[in-house]
Structure 1
């Protein structure tokens, strides 16, 4: 599995920001509600983020054990890594969409002291930032550092394969 790239997450955020901006423009023209997730969605974001972090900590504890008496289930580690990637991508989507909404609503927000729609969008942007951060962190937890070899030629059993210079995943 390829590591997450911050540039790809940024591009996703920018693309969804443009879509969020356009959707807000269209909903305003149609006199519809602004397309923002409610505050209750932050509960779901928090549950997903905490669950991802808890699974990542289990993998990190195994990785940092001095003497490994047991092997970690490779399916568990792979699922944790996939969950971390999904968390980061979902966070980029939430952050981008709601940043587009805030960008569209900013002139209205400046005219009114507090706009509940903008405050909801800012809260969801914060949730998106947390999800991206936890996704990137748990991905790092799942990374196994390359092992040192006793042989001078570097072709020993523990040497990383070509392309694994930074180590593989747990």
Structure 2
């Protein structure tokens, strides 16, 4: 299993932001009304981020010798962290791009509300992204390798 790479996560945010921005710009130019993203999207992102951090914290406690854990659970937690990071990157990008599309229409109340809701949803995605990166780092064993090559790093007991 390879560690998360910040360049891949940044590319996921950038590409999904372009898709969110471009798709919503085309839809709005075509006469579609802005979609109001539910405010619960932020809450779901924060709760999922908290769950991922809690699972990662349990693995970190194992690494520090304070607990025992099945190695399979540790590997699953590392995978959960990576999945959260990638999903959060995509959500933050898409909703952020959508919010950017609506910013020029800030004077119109319905579009301003949609922009705020999309911005909050993007924040929820960012929370998932950060929580996933932290949890995945907590699941690493072996020497840290900050150059993102990951050749000698074993994560959650699995060698590359």
What TM-score comes out, normalization by structure 2 length? 0.83
Tell me, yes or no, if structure 1 residue 115 matches structure 2 residue 101. Answer: no
Distance 1:19 1:35, change over 3 A: farther
> Any unmatched runs of 5+ in structure 1?
147-161
Q: Is the 8 A contact 1:60 1:141 kept in 2?
A: yes
| 1:41-94 Cα distance to aligned partner (Å, 9 max, x none) | 22322221111111101000010127x7x4x21110111011100100111111
Aligned to 1:153: none
Match of 1:52 in 2: 52
Cα distance change on mapping 1:82 and 1:35 into 2, 3 Å: farther
Match of 1:102 in 2: 99
Q: Does 1:24 align with 2:24?
A: yes
Partner residue, 2:155: 169
* Matched positions, count: 149
Larger Rg: 1
- Alpha-carbon deviation of 1:34? 2.8
Matches within 5 A, 1:2-13: 2-13=2-13
Structure 1 length-normalised TM: 0.79
Structure 1 stretches (4+) deviating beyond 4 angstroms? none
Aligned 8 A contact 1:91 1:131 in 2 = yes
Of Structure 1 and Structure 2, the greater helix share is in: 2
CA RMSD of aligned residues (A): 2.1
CA distance in 1, matches of 2:33, 2:81: 32
The equivalent of 2:147 in structure 1 is none
Pick 1 or 2: higher relative contact order, CA cutoff 8 A, min separation 6: 2
1:101-157, CA deviations, whole angstroms, 9 ceiling, x for partnerless residues? 122111111x347811111111112112211111110011001134xxxxxxxxxxx
1:78 aligned to which of 65, 75, 84: 75
